[in-house]
Amino acid sequence: MRYFFLAFTLIVVLVISFFGFRGDKFSSTPLRMFPDMDDQDKVKTQTTSSFFADGLSARKPVAGTVPRGFEPDGSGPSFGNSTSYLDTGALDGTYGNGMPKALELNDENIAAFIRHGKERYNISCMPCHGESGNGKGTVAVVGNFSVADLGNFPQSEYPDGQMFETISKGKGMMSGYSYNIPVKDRWAIIAYVRALQTADKTADDQ
């Protein structure tokens, strides 16, 4: 047993002498068993780079591509600076109702807008809220927790602007989707949810 403690003490001393105490500072390059991608072939923003001919590290988007969160026409996120109804859902100090005029919806493009909303709904909303919006999506059923039935939020009681804010900022266990879903796509989802509600009400009336 005595030799065990002697060996253990020797090992501890060797480890401390080799690696040092936690928090110690050294002037030499540390020994890293797991580099964790600390050193990478990359360029940092706002710095110069000898890799590019113009010496700039900041690059413009590749021709023909659209940065994430931006629209094909080049318009992008407002980053919280806009106070318009389109970007906030608020109108004259309260929640607005109806689709924003900035979307320029009409009888010719509204159907395509709703179809796009269905696509985005199926990607971001259906896993929890379900295909019909009844709150019985796969995630809700498997996770065994309550999810809102979107049929309980009619436009007359829950304005479009309030639904836009809920999608953007989240509510309860639902996280905000302002960083995941572009502004116009959020409104398209709302238009589709309203279509689901109308279809559900029509079915109930028959």
Q: Of 140, 147, 168, 158, whose CA–CA distance to 194 is shortest?
A: 158
At residue 90, φ and ψ (nearest 5 deg) are: -100, 145
Q: What pLDDT is recorded for position 79?
A: 61
Give the global pTM.
0.66
Q: What pLDDT is recorded for position 49?
A: 84
Question: Around Cβ 170, how many Cβ atoms within 10 Å?
Answer: 13
Q: What pLDDT is recorded for position 51?
A: 83
Tens of pLDDT along the chain (206 residues)? 677 778 888 887 777 666 666 666 667 776 677 777 777 777 777 888 888 888 888 888 888 888 776 777 766 666 667 889 999 999 988 999 999 999 999 999 999 999 999 999 999 999 999 999 999 999 888 988 889 999 999 999 999 999 999 999 999 889 999 988 999 999 999 999 999 999 977 666 65
Q: What pLDDT is recorded for position 156?
A: 94
Q: What pLDDT is recorded for position 101?
A: 95
Q: Which CATH architecture has domain 106-205?
A: Orthogonal Bundle (1.10)
Count of alpha carbons within 13 angstroms of residue 48, beta-carbon side:
4
Distance CA(151)–CA(90), nearest Å, equals: 22
Distance CA(77)–CA(58), nearest Å, equals: 20
Q: What pLDDT is recorded for position 81?
A: 72
Domain ranges (residues) in the chain: 106-205
Q: What pLDDT is recorded for position 181?
A: 93
